[in-house]
Amino acid sequence: MKSSLALALLRLISFLPLGLARLLGRVVGATAVAARPYKVAKLNLSLCYPELAEPEIEELAKGRMAHFGQALFETPGLWRRSADWLQTKIIAVEGEAYLRRALANDRGTILLIPHQGNWEAVALWVAKQATITTLYKPPKLAALGDWIKRAREKTGANLVPTNVRGVAALLKALQRGEVTAILPDQQPPIGSGDFAPLFGVQALTMTLTHNLLKRSTSQAIFCCALREQGGWRLHFVPADDMIYSSDQATSLRAMNAGIESVVAMAPNQYQWEYKRFRARPEGSPPIYPAGT
């Protein structure tokens, strides 16, 4: 019953015009300042921007809650509507030449999409430009998972499971000269990552991108879809050359530095409410207090 009600609500929200959806999202976001996401966001921001004063941290966290709410209300519309509708909402594409050059060769391209702005928008747009393969882990609500999967596949994306078979599919796609999309700022399972600095904090960082680059001739590009009035502005930025280093630690540092540069474009649109630093180096105290 709960699953059906949740899906029905999301489907209803999906019919809202983008402007109204974002307005309602900002209202909901304003009420979240007393909730866990706001507390986690403040803690993460304090860790990652120690030079900022408390009022500045609070302003950033409140701004993030407004964007958090907007993402909740605008994304169902992205899932329901067509790729043609999305195209009308792309305000501009910054760095498109980098993407076009990458797609024009047969090396294969890894798109690194941090949780910045609306990552669903950038992935759906790219899927209309090229054959793309992405990892997909269904949410707990099966009906919602089916809806999301259909939405991502409607533009031609190939979704593969988050296991060894899925990773093999990513590698094969790259070797065919195709595109894969990876969310590089998720905390990986123990054994699938190593610690590297992210905003000066040691973060368990996925080694997937490093391993794919090491086993292929692929190129890596960071991208995001930043929220602007009336739609989204896409950004594509080539990764620093150090990401291709055979040394894993060097490659991971370069990837996290790339994430930082994307976040710097609009810090209040980043997913600060995510407990990114849950895993800690051996002997280090936990960062998040109980109850947050």
Q: What is the pLDDT of residue 291?
A: 74
d(C-alpha 54, C-alpha 40), whole Å: 14
Model confidence at 2, in pLDDT bands (50, 70, 90)? low
Q: What is the band of 140 on the pLDDT scale with cuts at 50, 70, 90?
A: confident
Give the pLDDT band of residue 137 (cuts 50, 70, 90): confident
Element (H, E) at 196: strand 193-198
Question: Residue 88: its pLDDT value, please?
Answer: 96
Task: Give tens-digit pLDDT for 190-216.
Answer: 889 999 999 999 999 999 999 999 999
Looking at residues 124-145, what average pLDDT do you find? 86
- Kindly report the pTM of this predicted structure: 0.95
Please state, in angstroms and rounded to a whole number, the distance separating the CA atoms of residues 41 and 49.
Answer: 12
Q: How many C-beta atoms lie closer than 10 Å to residue 31's C-beta?
A: 11
Q: Is the pLDDT of residue 18 over 90?
A: yes
pLDDT higher than 90, residue 145? no
Measuring CA to CA, which residue among 79, 77, 49 is closest to residue 64?
49
Residue 278 pLDDT > 90: yes
Q: Are 107 and 221 in contact (CB under 8 A)?
A: no
Region 260-283 average pLDDT:
97
Express each pLDDT in 174-195 by its tens digit: 999 999 999 999 999 988 999 9
- How many residues comprise the chain? 292
Tell me the average pLDDT across 95-105: 96
